[in-house]
Structure 1
């Protein structure tokens, strides 16, 4: 996965100054939370979470399959995630 870009000196100075003055770009106080909305989809395992203007859509699926006849007590557990490149330039499609 490619490294995230380091902030420039100007960006770093701006962030540090904003933190010292308790300022956020969206006008919220430094310790205030964004509005949270949670809704569940029509299908089982689908959730839509909104934090202010940020939106996350999550889908979870599971299936049971019969083990191979010669290995009846063995199983497989697999976790797969897909993250959009819109979330970060470090995320690649299909990886």
Structure 2
């Protein structure tokens, strides 16, 4: 009798979480994505978790206009940042001599 109870429980439980993934104790729906941290993104596909490193683009900084590469805190990819004494507005840098 206990064997049948286990089979029934397993069947009901497996149907309840069908279409989902468990990652580090958290439940995620199929076809969803989430960031583990700033440089790793995970997705749930057909009940399987797939994690990949974030691929960064190669920013084209204009060093002659005072831009420099910087990785902002809590970010993964570098960005072009204007040096102090200048600012960017709609793609134009102001304040650089």
Same fold (TM over 0.5): no
* Category of TM-score, reference length = shorter chain: under 0.3
Q: TM-score, normalised by structure 1?
A: 0.23
Query: Which is strand-richer, 1 or 2?
Result: 2
Q: TM-score, normalised by structure 2?
A: 0.23
Q: Higher Cα Rg: structure 1 or 2? A: 2
